[in-house]
Structure 1
Amino acid sequence: MCGFTGWIDWTADLTKQSIILENMTATLANRGPDASGTWISPHCALGHRRLSVIDPANGAQPMVRTADDDTYVLVYNGELYNAPELKRELESRGRRFTTTCDTEVLLVAYMEWGPSCVERFNGIFAFALWDSREEHLFIARDRLGVKPFFFSRQLGRFIFGSEPKALLAHPAVKPEVGPEGLAEIFIVGPARTPGVGVYRDLTELLPGQCATVNRAGVHVSHYWKLESRPHAETVDETARTVGALLKDTVERQLVSDVPLCTLLSGGLDSSALTALAVNYYKETGQGTVHTFSVDYVDNDKHFKSHAFQPNADAPWIERMTSHLGTIHHAMVFDTPELVGALHEAMTARDMPGMADVDSSLLLFCREIKKEATVAISGEAADEIFGGYPWFHREDALNAGTFPWSLAAGMRADLLSQDVAAWIRPLEYIGDRYLDAVAEVQHLPGEDENTRKMRQMSYLNITRFMPTLLDRKDRMSMAVGLEVRVPFCDHRLVEYVYNIPWAVKTAGDREKGILRKGLEGVLPHDVLYRKKSPYPKTHNPNYLNAVRTRLLDVLNEGTSPLLPLINVKKIRQLAESEAASSNLPWFGQLMSGPQLFAYLLQVDMWLRDYKVSIR
């Protein structure tokens, strides 16, 4: 995994602007701590930071190849899991390779097939490729958007990078935020609308999109979209297909030339991936799998069960590590560490995120990085297989809004009157919901319940899942750790999306078809454990710490946050007894402590990035 940046400019000689390219590239050092490189020509500048995973000695970027007086230059972030098959096919067509890395496979695939090469890729990727003969830049992003790609279109100029910070290092990109950006921060966030970069000048290449940048402009197209198709297989056939697809996906993603591990919470998803990894390691004689878990000081004393977190993870982690015989590493963090990392987590995203859920993941990834360079994680299974409680609640299915936005009205009440009148928060979230629903393809003859469940699945895969993928990419890459997400294999996603809800919930259980497909892989009690999400701290010390810090910001009087919020109402919330609740009282995804921590991140962001609201 890596980070890249650069720009195209048809109006200037970029060879005289190398210092700007160096500065932009330097912002991505955490994403690629192993190597740095730049390439510059009169109209194209490319920068790259590398995290070496496959063929560390020979995969340097920007990677340059020439053929028939044409020069091809590639900067790339990601992994191609079908690189061996592609390489064999390309060799059969007369292509020759000088490395064993997938970077060269991607570059040669473009040389052979042109832009249509992306349709052949199985992996997670974002890249930019300069073709000197065509005098154009070809860019693409993987089908599910695991790897990020931000860009800014300006007159005669196209600026891009793996993270907003790289673009903001270019003099032409300013940290300005308008009404859309504020609505994303205060109403939509952290489930940011795909394609919206929050900053006024920033856009995001959508998952499954590619584009050609030339003198005529930027020509964007979709090479992949989530499509609705009939599903005719029986429950047993479907379970076998799901199990086979997941096994193949995991085994492809276990390839690495550097130490690899799995993240293990003791839940269905992470336990399944770990078990498949252990089985594969045994079959191939690769030794013992290392596993990692995260928890918090005194969580065992303060944990309270609720719909989104029905039980604690610790006993289940011990159950799985004992059953599988992994070498386990349990990471435990305390309140001062979580609060202290809020700032670094915000910087990793270049904007406010998921508060302590972000900061704890960043700390977790930093500890993992001491032992491994690549980790396997169970992200996306709940969005794909329908594991969240809102898939199973009539109020969420019939709400006429995103299920994670049921408390949008409460969030809107926390804005200042001027800001609320400017951004029209409820209208904004309503429009984004209608945009999303309009994209859903329904099959002829679908009944009302089938339409509802397909719509809910589509919203989760295309709107909520990117939030978690963005979080995982940004927090892990901030410390130079590559995280792979097997449940995001596009073959698996395409197949499961079209499984009828009655089959998807086989055995009258959430994610029932996944459980059935994993029979024989996991112990029965783990296989049928109720869903439990990424763990949060339940220690009241965390609430006290973030509440005190937020009250200090409110009392200081100079914070750029104050004109944007209803200071009186937020002060009342912070000082109320309700603030002590760790249940998700502030909407579906934000507890009192998370709200206060999130507002602290907004304050940090406005100050650090010198954000101009206009």
Structure 2
Amino acid sequence: MCGITGWIDYERDMTQEKKTVKSMAQTLNRRGPDALNVMAENDVCFGHTRLVVVDPAGGAQPMTKEHDSGTYTICYNGELYNTHELRDALKSLGYSFHSHSDTEVVLTAYIAWKEACVEKMNGIFAFAIWDHKERQLFLARDRLGVKPLFYKKTDRGILFASELKALLAHPEVEPVIKEEGLLEVIALSPSRTPGHGVFDGIDELRPAHWLRLNREGVKVQRYWQVSSREHTENETETAASLRNLLEDTVSRQLISDVPVASFLSGGVDSSALAAFTKRTFTKENRGELPTYSIDYTGNDAFFSSNHFQPDADAPYAEKVSKMLNTNHRRCLIDNSELANVLDEAVYARDLPGMADIDSSLLWFCKQMKQDVTVALSGECADEIFGGYPWFHQQAEDNEIFPWMRSLNERTQLLRGEWRERLNLRDYVSSRYLETIAEAPTLAGESDEDARRRQLFYVNMIWFMTTLLDRKDRMSMAASLEVRVPFADHRLVEYVWNIPWEMKNAGGREKGILRQALEGLLPEDVLYRKKSPYPKTHHPEYANAVVQRLEKIIEDHNAPIHDIFDHKKLKQLCETKGEAFKKPFFGQLMTDAQLIAHLIQVNTWLDHYNVKIDIRS
């Protein structure tokens, strides 16, 4: 993977701005620690940082290619999983290649098919292509939003980058948030409205969209959407189709010129990916498969079974590893270290995030990076198959996101003037209603099935994107490329139309997926109740974050006081978060994570020198 950034200005000699773009690119060095290059001419300057995964010699960027129709330069972050098919199709049209990198295939595909090229791609990507003859920029992002891309329109062009930090490194971009940006952070965090860049004037290119810039202006267009249609296969046929799709997807995503591993928590999703990966490793004689899991020091002594997390992961991960004969490493993070990495996780995300859910993943990815450069992970299965509790419960409120039940409590944390001014519920409700209005409908569907389809869409557009963003930011901050087979768009399209009764086959969450995997995994792993991402239960962590927040609120100059009520913050510390009546992130989170999130808010305000500009 890589980091990309660029600056187009139709009134400026961009060959004189290489230093600025290089500085922007340098902020992305963890995304691409192996090389940094800048290309500039007339109206355009591209910056690229590279993490070498495929074709070390032939994949250098920015990459320029000559053709009869003109000259084109690409700046690309991603991985293409149908490289061979596209290369063969392009060769049949008369195009030739000078490398075996997917970068050249993406560039050539654009030369051949222009904007339609993205519709032919299977992969995770964000890229920019400059047409030197037409003086035109093309930006595109993958269908599910695995790879990030932000931009800022200017009077004379555009700035773009993989991460917000690169845009903020530009001398003309200020870290200002206005009322809507403040609502994004307070009401929606750790999620974010699709397309919203939080900082004033910065937008995100939404997943499944492309952008074209020329002297006439900017055009943004969606190129992919799930399509609602009747599912025609029976349960047995559906299970077989799912298994074939998954096996093909995993084999495609194992292409690499560097070492590959698999996450292995012991849950059904990661265990299935590890099993399919092991099959490919054996077939291709690729040697031993490394697998990894994370846990917390002392967690065994403090783990307590509950409805959402009935048992610990470690025994199941060990069982799957033993069955598959993988080289398994259980990574243990110290609770004080977990608290210390909270700040670094903010720098990786450029925003307040998911507290120790972020920081533990960042630390974990660093451990994996010691051995490998690429890993497969099980994100997205719960979103597309309906594995979360809110798919199986009656909604408390049909006009807000089902995982977001703490809006009143969030409001009460605010300073008085913000409680009066900011209507968190209205903002969240409007975003929710905007999203369900996009959801593709199916004629003749019952009201209950239509509502459930909307729920799946909301999860795909919001919750899934949040988790994919988290995985990208934390892994790339460790210079580790993580691939997510359950986010393959072919699989998402297919599962979208499987009826709920079939998704829930046997009365079990993700029942049809479990049926598809029969014979691949041990029965107790295959039919294990869903367990969320592992978290610490050790009181040492709660004490550590309380002490950190206490120190912050003792400093009357701490920027967190500009937003939150001092007495409320103090009360949270005194009660170790119990004064907050509902889980901050949703049903699966802890009191300590609210306190850790508030630490991250203060870190973000302080480190990025965020200016709140709310004018009447």
**TM, length-normalised to structure 1:** 0.98
Contact between 1:152 and 1:158, CA under 8 Å: does it hold in 2? yes
Going from structure 1 to structure 2, the CA distance change for 1:344 and 1:578 (only over 3 Å counts) comes to: closer
Which residue of structure 2 lines up, in the alignment, with residue 111 of structure 1? 111
Contact between 1:307 and 1:389, CA under 8 Å: does it hold in 2? no
**2:8 is aligned with what amino acid?**
I
Residues 525-604 of structure 1: pairs in structure 2 closer than 5 A: 525-576=524-575, 579=578, 584=583, 587-604=586-603
Which residue of structure 2 lines up, in the alignment, with residue 443 of structure 1? 442
Which residue of structure 2 lines up, in the alignment, with residue 511 of structure 1? 510
Going from structure 1 to structure 2, the CA distance change for 1:581 and 1:558 (only over 3 Å counts) comes to: closer
**2:538 is aligned with what amino acid?**
N
Contact between 2:339 and 2:545, CA under 8 Å: does it hold in 1? yes
Query: Counterparts of 2:216 and 2:183 in 1: how far apart (Å)?
Result: 33
Query: Counterparts of 2:375 and 2:389 in 1: how far apart (Å)?
Result: 27
Query: What is the Cα deviation at residue 578 of structure 1?
Result: 5.7
Query: Counterparts of 1:161 and 1:229 in 2: how far apart (Å)?
Result: 37
Query: Counterparts of 2:150 and 2:5 in 1: how far apart (Å)?
Result: 9
Query: Counterparts of 1:290 and 1:146 in 2: how far apart (Å)?
Result: 23
Query: Counterparts of 1:361 and 1:582 in 2: how far apart (Å)?
Result: 27
Query: Counterparts of 1:392 and 1:457 in 2: how far apart (Å)?
Result: 12
Q: What's the CA shift string for 1:499-548, capped at 9, x where partnerless?
A: 11011111111000100111111111111001111111111011011111
Q: CA RMSD in A?
A: 1.5
Which residue of structure 1 lines up, in the alignment, with residue 408 of structure 2? 409
Going from structure 1 to structure 2, the CA distance change for 1:16 and 1:305 (only over 3 Å counts) comes to: same
Confirm or deny that 1:40 pairs with 2:49. no
**2:158 is aligned with what amino acid?**
F
Query: What is the Cα deviation at residue 96 of structure 1?
Result: 1.0
Residues 212-227 of structure 1: pairs in structure 2 closer than 5 A: 212-227=212-227
Query: Counterparts of 1:419 and 1:336 in 2: how far apart (Å)?
Result: 33
Query: Counterparts of 2:329 and 2:401 in 1: how far apart (Å)?
Result: 37
Query: What is the Cα deviation at residue 423 of structure 1?
Result: 2.9
Query: Counterparts of 1:67 and 1:42 in 2: how far apart (Å)?
Result: 20
Which residue of structure 2 lines up, in the alignment, with residue 283 of structure 1? 283
Query: Counterparts of 2:415 and 2:39 in 1: how far apart (Å)?
Result: 47
Going from structure 1 to structure 2, the CA distance change for 1:230 and 1:187 (only over 3 Å counts) comes to: same
- Secondary structure (helix, strand or coil) at the match of 1:402 reads coil
Query: What is the Cα deviation at residue 190 of structure 1?
Result: 0.2
Query: Counterparts of 2:530 and 2:326 in 1: how far apart (Å)?
Result: 22
Q: What's the CA shift string for 1:172-200, capped at 9, x where partnerless?
A: 21100111111111110001111111111
Query: Counterparts of 2:234 and 2:184 in 1: how far apart (Å)?
Result: 42
Percent identical among aligned pairs is 51
Confirm or deny that 1:184 pairs with 2:190. no
Which residue of structure 1 lines up, in the alignment, with residue 240 of structure 2? 240
**2:439 is aligned with what amino acid?**
V
Query: Counterparts of 1:580 and 1:171 in 2: how far apart (Å)?
Result: 42
Query: Counterparts of 2:159 and 2:562 in 1: how far apart (Å)?
Result: 32
Q: What's the CA shift string for 1:343-396, capped at 9, x where partnerless?
A: 111000111111111111000000100100000000111001000111101135
Confirm or deny that 1:5 pairs with 2:1. no
Which residue of structure 2 lines up, in the alignment, with residue 202 of structure 1? 202
- Secondary structure (helix, strand or coil) at the match of 1:403 reads coil
**1:467 is aligned with what amino acid?**
T
Contact between 1:583 and 1:591, CA under 8 Å: does it hold in 2? no
Which residue of structure 1 lines up, in the alignment, with residue 606 of structure 2? 607
Which residue of structure 1 lines up, in the alignment, with residue 490 of structure 2? 491
Which residue of structure 1 lines up, in the alignment, with residue 477 of structure 2? 478
Query: What is the Cα deviation at residue 585 of structure 1?
Result: 7.3
Contact between 1:581 and 1:591, CA under 8 Å: does it hold in 2? no
Which residue of structure 1 lines up, in the alignment, with residue 87 of structure 2? 87
Contact between 2:571 and 2:579, CA under 8 Å: does it hold in 1? no
Query: Counterparts of 2:585 and 2:233 in 1: how far apart (Å)?
Result: 42
Contact between 2:409 and 2:580, CA under 8 Å: does it hold in 1? no
**2:131 is aligned with what amino acid?**
D
Q: What's the CA shift string for 1:255-274, capped at 9, x where partnerless?
A: 11000000000000000000
Contact between 1:410 and 1:586, CA under 8 Å: does it hold in 2? no
Q: What's the CA shift string for 1:542-601, capped at 9, x where partnerless?
A: 101111111111121111110201221221122126639999477435421111111111
Query: Counterparts of 2:327 and 2:56 in 1: how far apart (Å)?
Result: 26
Q: What runs of 5+ residues in structure 1 fail to find an aligned partner?
A: none
Q: What's the CA shift string for 1:225-247, capped at 9, x where partnerless?
A: 12212111111111111111111
Q: What's the CA shift string for 1:416-450, capped at 9, x where partnerless?
A: 12223333211111111111111112211111221
Going from structure 1 to structure 2, the CA distance change for 1:587 and 1:365 (only over 3 Å counts) comes to: closer
- Secondary structure (helix, strand or coil) at the match of 2:559 reads coil
Query: Counterparts of 1:214 and 1:418 in 2: how far apart (Å)?
Result: 44
Which residue of structure 2 lines up, in the alignment, with residue 420 of structure 1? 419
Going from structure 1 to structure 2, the CA distance change for 1:434 and 1:375 (only over 3 Å counts) comes to: same
Contact between 2:572 and 2:579, CA under 8 Å: does it hold in 1? no
**2:284 is aligned with what amino acid?**
T
Q: What runs of 5+ residues in structure 2 fail to find an aligned partner?
A: none
Q: What's the CA shift string for 1:398-424, capped at 9, x where partnerless?
A: 543101112211111111122233332
Which residue of structure 2 lines up, in the alignment, with residue 324 of structure 1? 324
Contact between 1:408 and 1:587, CA under 8 Å: does it hold in 2? no
- Secondary structure (helix, strand or coil) at the match of 1:129 reads strand
- Secondary structure (helix, strand or coil) at the match of 2:403 reads helix
- Secondary structure (helix, strand or coil) at the match of 2:174 reads coil
Query: Counterparts of 1:230 and 1:172 in 2: how far apart (Å)?
Result: 51
Confirm or deny that 1:261 pairs with 2:261. yes
Which residue of structure 2 lines up, in the alignment, with residue 337 of structure 1? 337
Contact between 2:10 and 2:215, CA under 8 Å: does it hold in 1? yes
Query: Counterparts of 1:131 and 1:533 in 2: how far apart (Å)?
Result: 46
Runs of at least 4 residues of structure 1 off by over 6 A?
580-583
Contact between 1:281 and 1:287, CA under 8 Å: does it hold in 2? yes
Confirm or deny that 1:168 pairs with 2:183. no
Contact between 2:584 and 2:594, CA under 8 Å: does it hold in 1? no
Going from structure 1 to structure 2, the CA distance change for 1:510 and 1:212 (only over 3 Å counts) comes to: same
Query: Counterparts of 1:182 and 1:303 in 2: how far apart (Å)?
Result: 36
- Secondary structure (helix, strand or coil) at the match of 1:59 reads coil
Which residue of structure 1 lines up, in the alignment, with residue 464 of structure 2? 465
- Secondary structure (helix, strand or coil) at the match of 1:49 reads strand
Contact between 1:259 and 1:373, CA under 8 Å: does it hold in 2? yes
**2:504 is aligned with what amino acid?**
T
Contact between 2:81 and 2:123, CA under 8 Å: does it hold in 1? yes
Contact between 1:264 and 1:293, CA under 8 Å: does it hold in 2? yes
Contact between 1:6 and 1:47, CA under 8 Å: does it hold in 2? yes
Query: Counterparts of 2:352 and 2:155 in 1: how far apart (Å)?
Result: 30
Query: Counterparts of 2:22 and 2:576 in 1: how far apart (Å)?
Result: 51
- Secondary structure (helix, strand or coil) at the match of 2:251 reads helix
Query: What is the Cα deviation at residue 220 of structure 1?
Result: 0.6
**1:350 is aligned with what amino acid?**
D
- Secondary structure (helix, strand or coil) at the match of 1:404 reads coil
For these two proteins, the number of residue pairs brought into alignment is: 613
Residues 33-182 of structure 1: pairs in structure 2 closer than 5 A: 33-68=33-68, 70-182=70-182
Query: Counterparts of 2:56 and 2:485 in 1: how far apart (Å)?
Result: 23
Worse-matched range after superposition: 438-447 or 593-602: 438-447
Going from structure 1 to structure 2, the CA distance change for 1:593 and 1:497 (only over 3 Å counts) comes to: same
Worse-matched range after superposition: 10-19 or 538-547: 10-19
Query: What is the Cα deviation at residue 90 of structure 1?
Result: 1.1
Contact between 2:144 and 2:489, CA under 8 Å: does it hold in 1? yes
Worse-matched range after superposition: 568-577 or 481-490: 568-577
Going from structure 1 to structure 2, the CA distance change for 1:587 and 1:567 (only over 3 Å counts) comes to: farther
Query: Counterparts of 2:241 and 2:381 in 1: how far apart (Å)?
Result: 16
**2:155 is aligned with what amino acid?**
L
Going from structure 1 to structure 2, the CA distance change for 1:280 and 1:69 (only over 3 Å counts) comes to: closer
Contact between 1:179 and 1:422, CA under 8 Å: does it hold in 2? no
Query: Counterparts of 2:479 and 2:11 in 1: how far apart (Å)?
Result: 36
- Secondary structure (helix, strand or coil) at the match of 1:190 reads coil
**1:101 is aligned with what amino acid?**
S
**1:95 is aligned with what amino acid?**
Y
